[in-house]
Structure 1
Amino acid sequence: MTYTFKPMTQSQAEFIAYHWHYEGEYSFYDMESDKEDLVDFLDPESRGDTMFSVYEGEGLAGFFSINKTGAGIYDIGLGMRPDLTGNRRGSKFLTAGMGFVKFRFSPVKITLSVARFNERAIKVYRKIGFQDVETFNQNTNGDTFEFLKMEYVCHEEEGKSI
């Protein structure tokens, strides 16, 4: 199955924010868990042209945010629909998103940050080729959590074949 990336609409943002709920420790990623993130996610101006809905066939499968943070450096954020997580689909989803970023922006490097407890996601990121850069603490969801910053160095030929 292929993934299609489209600019996120307001109704999609609202649906994700209010209807996507993750189980157990992954409820950390519920949009409603952090009021500031929720406000930004729901505000079309804050989202700007950086947030994309990801479709698998006709169904909304996830979202991808893409922010330029430096010369040729793009930071990504992503989320899969809760019922799709934990089913060995993360690698395909991430690879499709990285392909979209490479095709659209020709990055030198792609970065992301992930909650340190999320070993399931970290395993996928490492499998794709992301390397650990640093850990840092971030205030979110009413507390302070440890995050891992990771990076993927793009090779010149990668963006040309997509």
Structure 2
Amino acid sequence: MGYQFALLSQDQAETIAYTWHYDDDYAFYDMEADQDDLAEFLDANQRGQSVFAITHDAELIGFVSVTQSDDETIDIGLGMKPDLTGKGGGRAFLTSILNFIEATYAPRRVTLAVAAFNERAIRLYAACGFRQTGSFQQPTNGSVYDFVRMERKESPQNL
């Protein structure tokens, strides 16, 4: 039982890109909202060995992209299946991702960026040990949006 991680297949990428649609303001995260992001996500060569499907009981429930920024830092991007969001499963989902990252890459630091309006995600990240380290603006989805940078350092007992 639990979550399983495997490289994202083309079928899974297409399922996420074309069938995962979020409600209200969260539609910002629809893959089809930005054609450049969509093309990159659908290109197996660009995904390479860095985007993983997350399944539970053989059901695709999420994905995580992993980029090694330097010898000690892993940057992640993640998404959860829309009908599972906002129902209290985020902490277990994120914890499984962090456990996978730590077991696979052993980073000293994990970083991510989140849209500033997504207070629900920011609270979740903070509850899982991330702290805000800055902000920036980024063009996406046909406009420019504010993002928050967050970082989680390895716990002192593991250093």
Give 1:91-106 correspondences, 5 Å limit. 91-106=91-106
SS at match of 2:112: strand
1:38, 1:157 → 2: CA distance? 40
Equivalence for 2:70: 70
Aligned residues: 159
Matched, 1:34 2:34: yes
2:33, 2:97 → 1: CA distance? 25
2:60, 2:89 → 1: CA distance? 14
SS at match of 1:93: helix
SS at match of 1:87: coil
Superposition TM-score, scaled by structure 1 size: 0.95
Equivalence for 2:15: 15
Equivalence for 1:52: 52
SS at match of 1:117: coil
Deviation of 1:125 (Å): 0.2
Aligned partner of 1:110: which letter? V
1:103, 1:94 → 2: CA distance? 14
Q: What whole-Å deviation, never above 9, does each CA across 1:47-101 have from its counterpart, x for those lacking one?
A: 0000000001111110011100112100001000000000011111000000000
1:95, 1:156 → 2: CA distance? 18
Q: Percent identity?
A: 44
Aligned partner of 2:79: which letter? G
Deviation of 1:155 (Å): 2.7
Structure 1 runs, 4 residues or longer, greater than 3 Å off:
156-159
Equivalence for 1:155: 155
2:106, 2:155 → 1: CA distance? 10
The two structures, once aligned, show a CA RMSD in angstroms of 1.2
Superposition TM-score, scaled by structure 2 size: 0.97
2:15, 2:151 → 1: CA distance? 30
Deviation of 1:46 (Å): 0.5
Q: What whole-Å deviation, never above 9, does each CA across 1:119-158 have from its counterpart, x for those lacking one?
A: 0000000000100000100000000000000000013655
2:54, 2:14 → 1: CA distance? 15
2:14, 2:107 → 1: CA distance? 30
- Unaligned 5+ segments in structure 2 are none
- Unaligned 5+ segments in structure 1 are none
SS at match of 1:129: coil
1:35, 1:63 → 2: CA distance? 19
